[in-house]
Structure 1
Amino acid sequence: MPARSSPASQAARPTAGKAATINDIARLAGVSKKTVSRIINNSPLVRKDTREKVEALMREVGYTPDPLARGLAFRRSFLIGMVYDNPTAQYIVDMQYGALDALRESGFELVVHPCDTRSPGYIDGVRRFVQQQKLHGVMLIPRASEDQNLVDMLAETGCRYTRIVPVGFDDRDGRMIVTHDRDGAAEAADYLLTLGHRDVALITGPLAYRSAIERTEGFVGTFAKRGIEVPKSRIIEASYTFESGVAAAEKLLAGKQRPTAIFCGNDEMAAGVYKVAMRAGISIPRDLSVIGYDDSPLAARLWPSLTSVRRQTRDTGRIAATMLIRPDNGPLPVASVRPHLIVRDSCQPPA
């Protein structure tokens, strides 16, 4: 008895080198295009044997549903946008990995939109991005997440969103993941105080970023509670980049009265401190203790390994994307991701 041929072998296959379409699947399976659409979107209105036949056929010919086409058919998109203005590449990569963790096997795809929140027309650019891609929802990453005008625009266009923010904002829909940056910086300050440091310095991110303000106030405020003032001359505003960390460290380490410890607003700037210290013959941690923020892969790769505040970036991206693909679009509880200090080898009591 001859072997039974597969459905795809009983009808003309798609042209070699050309991706199969939903019309090809319907023709090869002998069903309507609507039936194929229902199967792709897990509709219960399809018989089990028909579903199994069509799914086997899709696997055989390597058919992958197009997210944009699915959205057009159901008057919504299967695309999630990520809008960001952030100079730290590793942070953005980790956030994307987290979002992709949540979207895997969901049928949704991730598209990204970098922007410059200082540009007067950037909100119109985000609006075009949302409308052209027909986005199902948008993840807003700092600093874009801190702009209420951008949030209001998304609400007006009916696009759901989640905001990743360093501190809670007044959002009636509660679509926030709060990262509590002030608490992370306060824990770093407590650790230095426990080691006996009193003459400390701080390299902040741009104070236009709420994260930089929260980390500065958390660090300085913790010392103030112990009756210790961090002088303004010891607080240098930088830009969350390695180069700006180098420039800030050169100012702080140039004189004879050097601080015994420096807290940096991220690991990139802490790496800049390492470079300046090495050139000046300053030993870390014997002569200078250093703490970063983010606990990026860089922290463990520096020598000595960098003590840093871990802020669970990948988990934050996963939570933000998960909130967006919930079946309903109603108010959401505010989510929290708590930072904590990872102690390594870059700190010790002052000499």
Structure 2
Amino acid sequence: MSKPTINDVAARAGVSKKTVSRVINNSPLLNAATRAKVETVIAELGYVPNPQARALATGRNFLIAMIHDNSNPELALAAQQGVFEAIRDTEYALVVRPIDRKAAGMEQELRHFLEVQRPAGVLLLPGVAEMESIVAACNQIGCAYVRMGATALDVPSQLVASNDRQAAADAVAYLVSLGHERIGLVAGPDDASVAQQRELGYLDAMADHDLDRGPALIAAGDFSFDSGVTAGNLLLEVSPRPTAIFAANDAMAAGVLHAAHKRGIKVPDQLSIVGFEDTAIAAHIWPPLTTVHVPVAVMACGAVFKMIYPDQAETLPAQFRLEMIARASTAPAAG
């Protein structure tokens, strides 16, 4: 059986196609009885409006495009859940566009995607949000956008941000409060703004407490579990060995935990470990990770609200607080 069309709805309800269109688009130019009759027929026939046709008819597109860097799939999944929450019971739909920021021709391909789809709004996740060329493309094409970042990247109406630098400093200060003085860092990739902010927070806290923050206590990672293992092995070979390690994300913190287990170093009795982001791995490994919770879904939901309710964008939250989650991977420094 063919799918019902707007003509089928109009014929069954005994109204014009234009009247059906007005019902679909919530036009105020209808009385309650006519609206109720058409809505009943739509439900009976199972009619679903064609979004492309609606966009042409109303001059509006109902797509929200989420652009993310493939390197952090957990972040993208959490953000996606937030978008779904924001568009629930609305006419909007989500289209997800993963990109490789380092790929040749990426910017041209993304520009073409935006020109063809003409989304009502574009959510730029961390990594992509820092790329001014993509922001410029959105402006030139006329796509509203909101950037999600670890620090303020734009005006409040086009921004949702966390203060990762302060949260990282607070996490290191927590380790200091437990009596740790020799604290290592597993840093993230140099080209990632979130990694830079978290490393700065580590350095801030170490300086505030007049603790050694030399290069021997800092190992580079790329946000992957394997890089956390490698960095953990490097830091655990330093003499004297760190009594605590702060990693710029949970996957690398889990890698440090693995490296410690392989060396017979007990966590948290001999080594405390702190991660960042509070992803699923943090609660599922043993011991579960002390970490910093980033409300990605809430931030993404707030970002989409700014796009679908532009008149309220200035007053909707732009800054989001991060929360320290203390679990079993940290303990007071051994006396």
1:347 is aligned to 2:330:
yes
Structure 1 counterpart of 2:308, from 301, 325, 338? 325
- Alignment partner, residue 70 of structure 1: 54
* SS of equivalent to 1:114: strand
Deviations 1:241-260 (A, max 9, x none): 11211121121223553211
Q: 1:116 is matched by which residue type in structure 2?
A: D
Residue pair 2:157, 2:306 contacting (<8 A) in 1 also: no
* SS of equivalent to 1:185: helix
1:44 is aligned to 2:28:
yes
C-alpha deviation, 1:188, in angstroms: 0.4
CA distance 1:256–1:326, shift in 2 (3 Å): same
Residue pair 1:67, 1:107 contacting (<8 A) in 2 also: no
- Alignment partner, residue 211 of structure 1: 194
CA distance 1:201–1:176, shift in 2 (3 Å): same
- Alignment partner, residue 187 of structure 1: 170
Residue pair 2:302, 2:317 contacting (<8 A) in 1 also: no
- Alignment partner, residue 282 of structure 1: 265
1:34 is aligned to 2:34:
no
* SS of equivalent to 1:230: coil
Structure 2 counterpart of 1:135, from 116, 119, 126? 119
Count of matched residue pairs:
334
Q: 2:12 is matched by which residue type in structure 1?
A: L
Deviations 1:155-204 (A, max 9, x none): 111110000111113x3574111111111101101100100111111112
**Equivalent residues in 2 for 1:69-218 (5 A)?**
69-169=53-153, 171=154, 174-218=157-201
Q: Work out the CA distance in 1 between the residues paired with 2:134 and 2:32.
A: 46
Flag structure 2 segments of 5+ consecutive residues without an equivalent: none
* SS of equivalent to 2:275: strand
* SS of equivalent to 2:97: strand
Aligned-residue RMSD, C-alpha: 1.8
Residue pair 1:178, 1:334 contacting (<8 A) in 2 also: no
C-alpha deviation, 1:64, in angstroms: 2.3
Normalization by structure 1: what TM-score?
0.90
- Alignment partner, residue 39 of structure 2: 55
Q: Work out the CA distance in 2 between the residues paired with 1:148 and 1:336.
A: 20
CA distance 1:35–1:60, shift in 2 (3 Å): same
Flag structure 1 segments of 5+ consecutive residues without an equivalent: 1-15
CA distance 1:150–1:254, shift in 2 (3 Å): same
Structure 2 counterpart of 1:316, from 299, 302, 326? 299
Residue pair 1:67, 1:108 contacting (<8 A) in 2 also: no
Q: Work out the CA distance in 1 between the residues paired with 2:8 and 2:213.
A: 69
Residue pair 1:85, 1:141 contacting (<8 A) in 2 also: yes
Deviations 1:192-227 (A, max 9, x none): 010011111111211101111100001111110111
Residue pair 2:189, 2:220 contacting (<8 A) in 1 also: yes
C-alpha deviation, 1:19, in angstroms: 2.6
C-alpha deviation, 1:327, in angstroms: 4.8
Q: 1:162 is matched by which residue type in structure 2?
A: V
Q: Work out the CA distance in 2 between the residues paired with 1:146 and 1:128.
A: 20
Q: Work out the CA distance in 1 between the residues paired with 2:139 and 2:123.
A: 13
Deviations 1:2-58 (A, max 9, x none): xxxxxxxxxxxxxx2x33222322232222222112111111111211111111111
Normalization by structure 2: what TM-score?
0.95
- Alignment partner, residue 242 of structure 2: 259
CA distance 1:173–1:216, shift in 2 (3 Å): closer
Residue pair 1:166, 1:210 contacting (<8 A) in 2 also: yes
* SS of equivalent to 1:323: helix
Structure 1 counterpart of 2:276, from 281, 293, 311? 293
C-alpha deviation, 1:106, in angstroms: 1.1
Q: Work out the CA distance in 1 between the residues paired with 2:157 and 2:312.
A: 11
